[in-house]
Chains A and B, each alone.
Chain A
Amino acid sequence: MDNGMDSMMDTYLYETNSLLDQLDEMLVADEKEGDFPTDDVNEIFRIMHTIKGSSAMMEFTSLATIAHRMEDLFFYIRDKGIENLDPAHKKELFNLMFRSEDNLRAEVEKVEKGQPLTENVEDFVSEIGNFLTKISNGEGAVPGNKSGEKKAEKTPEKTDDKKTDTAAEQPAVSSSSVSEGLPQDPQAACFIHVFLEDNIGMENLRAFMIVNAIKECDIETRSYPPDLESNADTCSTIIENGFYLAFDSKDDAKKALDILQSQSHIRSYQEIEQPAPAPSDTAVQETPPVQEGETETKQASTTAAAAHPASHAPVKQNLISVNLQKLDDLINIVGEIVITESMVSSAPELAQLPSGSYDNFMKSARQLRKLTDDLQDVALSLRMVPISGIFQKMNRIVRDMKQKLDKDVRLTIIGEDTEVDKTIIDGIQDPIMHMVRNCMDHGIESSRAERVAAGKDPQGEIILSATHTSSEVVITVSDDGNGMDPQALLKKASEKGLLTKPESEYSKKEILALTMLPGFSTNKQVTEYSGRGVGMDVVKKNVESVGGIISLDSEKGKGTTITLKIPLTLSIVDGMKMRVGSSIFTIPIANIRQSFKITQEQLIYDEAGNEMVKCMDSFYPIVRLHEFYRIDTPVTDISDGIIIWVESSDRSFCLFVDDLLGQQQVVLKPFPVYLNRLELKNYGISGCTILGDGNISIILDVLSLHTAAIENR
């Protein structure tokens, strides 16, 4: 648990700090301009959303509160459009933004130093609120049911401080007043009597959370008072007399003691055996005092910790950390060696050697080839890390949300030792987190009764799986919850004005894809975790930025499955080489559906004279690469060259090239910095690679090629 917290803390600090850095950069640049571009408004909104979410998860309430208010503010601004803000307000907004950034930073610093967080951020929060009221001119109320949320958020903050205060004092041992009021539960073999810390507030809910934590570990227990969650009056009872947990067996109680150790806000606890037929007084004498119980459980917990890793601990390895740049350099050099090796062993001069020495040479050359191949494999595997790091983080999210949303859900993880390139890991962490949150919040039904009524297991399930194919990692996030209702989605999309054609023309796949448009959210309630429609469009953007494809499948009433297909590594592409004039282009094989020859007669023309071709009952536009890139080639007759049918996410079209040259794994190299000014990426050119003979091939990006050649035709 502690280790988990530590690494989570590291990630949290790293993430939050880099988001704040990003925010700072953006604010400074925008202030110079004196204006926020719409993109930045969205970005700030997203940053605040992320900080809010992760801070709430780590229980840093002051951070979460500030970020939440800023999110509200930017939600409003995004909704109304930044251009509708008058300049005086904008200026004020900048000041407010910088101050809130400073506030957030100050809090993060406190977290870093382990100091208690600011208890009261009300002043600043109300300032943000005032500003929001000002710009909205009182026309719509502040979004979100503020007062209710605030109350809920304030309490844990207080307790955090109290906790640090009381932590210094010795936990008071109370063993005298235990005896009375042992609950009547003849089945129970054993009780645990728990006292919470003083003045923590909402004692009943805290007790309930503790009970839940124990139940989560598959331990049967009953709490006394039983109606902890629903009956707020139990608070006073718990404050005075603590509460009891009843267990059917002593083993269960022992396990529960371990769990209690990791729970916060507990002042003391005591194990009490069921006073057989005898009166309760004697039982109390037999019970060990608290300290003894604690030492005992400590021993138990260490053995438990030793036993656990076998079952579900993350894959641990011997690791050293290496600068990523050094690794990249190594991989580059290895790439060069491989190419140079093939240049040497296929040099035409070798043919002039006498046959005896030629054979000898080839023998050594083959040996060298094998070694360089091995070297390449090892070098490439260096950047690969298991995906377990991300998956384990989801455990925590599911666990926390389960309690907050009061849903009974288990997370099943499959294939957590699947290895993925480090850069990709960094890129898909947020998307996966969003998707798991969505599953928890919207996917799984809100009550057990609902699930039982639908004939399902009362416990919901979220499955997170990762598998390898030859060139991709396939990650799926699926839940067995409500699923999506295509009609409801369509209605919602039309309300939001997101439809581009008549409703009747949408296929199911297209309707589901609507959820990935910016600003689409079907949940009316804004919650701490999700529900403002930032989710899926950001997910899609992130996944596509690492070259992945996202697809969504949902059956109403049965659940939703989201599948991500992501290339194994960013730097190595399985490519198809093709020739246009004297240039050689490479297209990732993953994008190619088919290649074929056609004749002049099969060409179809539209009004503007654009060429099309029919494949499998659909018509696709043809882009002649030699025309688009203005390359001289003798092959201009459609029947002389070859048609390649390509596809990327939902765009599909055909390319016309001179000839196919064959398949090859290529190492993707970015263009030199100098060429950034040409913005080649906007013209479908994503990078280049060095071929076996030392020549350079240009790598095409099908998606941006479509944008450049067809959408902007």
Chain B
Amino acid sequence: MSDEIKAPEISQSAEKSEKTQNIKRCLTFESADLPLFISTEYVVEIINGHTITPLPLAPSYILGIINLRGQILTVMDLQAYMGKEPVVFTPQTCIIVLDIEGIQLGVVVDSVRQVTDIDLSYTKPIPVKRQQRLLNGMVTLEDGSVLMALDCPALIRE
């Protein structure tokens, strides 16, 4: 799957100025070897180093709960939620705390890259749409790299 995504689409830089701009501040990160981004509107904070208490009988993508300054927060393994191997914890592993439509959720990702402005009007649909449960678009940055948009509301959909 990752090969598919890497296919570059650099050709639109010429028409950039013509289109109406829709610039959003986004957080970029990596999970399951995919370069992903989400709008910072959803992001509450980024934490690491918390002890995760596992929940009995929970599905494998729910790693458990953590005590975030007195609030109980569910922690989800994004990689496992995409149907891959469970995440391997490294010093770079972080938990991104999201607030999606009022529901707080911690998502474990391999590493967090940076916060950058992305013009969402250049988002293209992903060719193999049917197989995308969590991703809802892709965009090419000025440096030529490709990022996939993570569909946050899809994370809390039952």
A residues near B, CB below 8 A? 332-333, 335-336, 339, 582-583, 628-631, 669-675, 677-678, 680, 683, 685, 688, 690, 694-698
Contacts and interface: CB of A to CB of B under 8 A. Distances in A.
Contacts of A683: 56-57
A678 B53 contact: no
Given A675-B58, A688-B72, 14 more contacts: A336-B69, A339-B70, A631-B56, A674-B104, A675-B62, A678-B62, A683-B57, A690-B72, A694-B51, A696-B65, A696-B66, A696-B67, A696-B72, A698-B55
B153 to A, nearest CB: 13
A335 B104 contact: no
Given A694-B67, A695-B51, A677 B72 contact: no
B54 interface: yes
Contacts of A685: 55-56
B103 to A, nearest CB: 5
B139 interface: no
B27 interface: no
A669 B54 CA distance: 16
Contacts of A628: 56
Nearest to B59: A678
Contacts of B53: 583, 688, 695-698
Contacts of A582: 54
B74 A583 contact: no
Q: How large is the interface on B (under 10, 10 to 19, 20 to 34, 35 or more residues)?
A: 20 to 34
B70 A335 contact: yes
A689 to B, nearest CB: 9
Contacts of B146: none
B156 interface: yes
Contacts of A690: 67, 70, 72
Contacts of B34: none
Contacts of A675: 55, 58, 62, 65, 74
Residue in A670, A673, A694, A696 whose Cβ sees the most chain B Cβ within 10 Å: A696
25 contacts: A336-B69, A336-B70, A583-B53, A583-B56, A670-B72, A672-B65, A672-B73, A672-B74, A672-B103, A673-B102, A673-B103, A674-B105, A674-B156, A675-B55, A677-B158, A680-B55, A685-B55, A685-B56, A688-B65, A694-B51, A694-B67, A695-B51, A695-B53, A696-B66, A698-B53
A707 to B, nearest CB: 14
A104 to B, nearest CB: 33
A342 to B, nearest CB: 14
A698 B104 contact: no
A335 B72 CA distance: 13
Nearest to A690: B67
B67 A695 contact: yes
Contacts, number: 73
Contacts of B66: 696
A678 B58 CA distance: 7
B108 to A, nearest CB: 14
Given A677-B158, A696-B65, A630 B56 contact: yes
Contacts of A583: 53-54, 56
Contacts of B54: 582-583
Contact of A672 (B51, B57, B72, B158): B72
Contacts of B102: 673
B25 to A, nearest CB: 25
A586 to B, nearest CB: 12
A487 to B, nearest CB: 46
Given A630-B57, A678-B58, A332 B70 contact: yes
A674 B59 CA distance: 13
A694 to B, nearest CB: 6
Nearest to A682: B57
Closest 10 interchain pairs by CB? A629-B56, A336-B70, A696-B53, A674-B74, A672-B74, A690-B67, A677-B158, A674-B103, A673-B103, A669-B72
B97 to A, nearest CB: 11
A671 B70 contact: no
Interface in B85-99: none
A671 B57 contact: no
Contacts of A333: 70
Contacts of A678: 55, 57-59, 62
A705 to B, nearest CB: 11
A683 B55 CA distance: 11
B154 to A, nearest CB: 13
A393 to B, nearest CB: 37
A629 B104 contact: no
A697 B158 CA distance: 26
Contacts of A339: 70
A629 B57 contact: yes
Interface in B9-37: none
Contacts of A696: 53, 65-67, 72
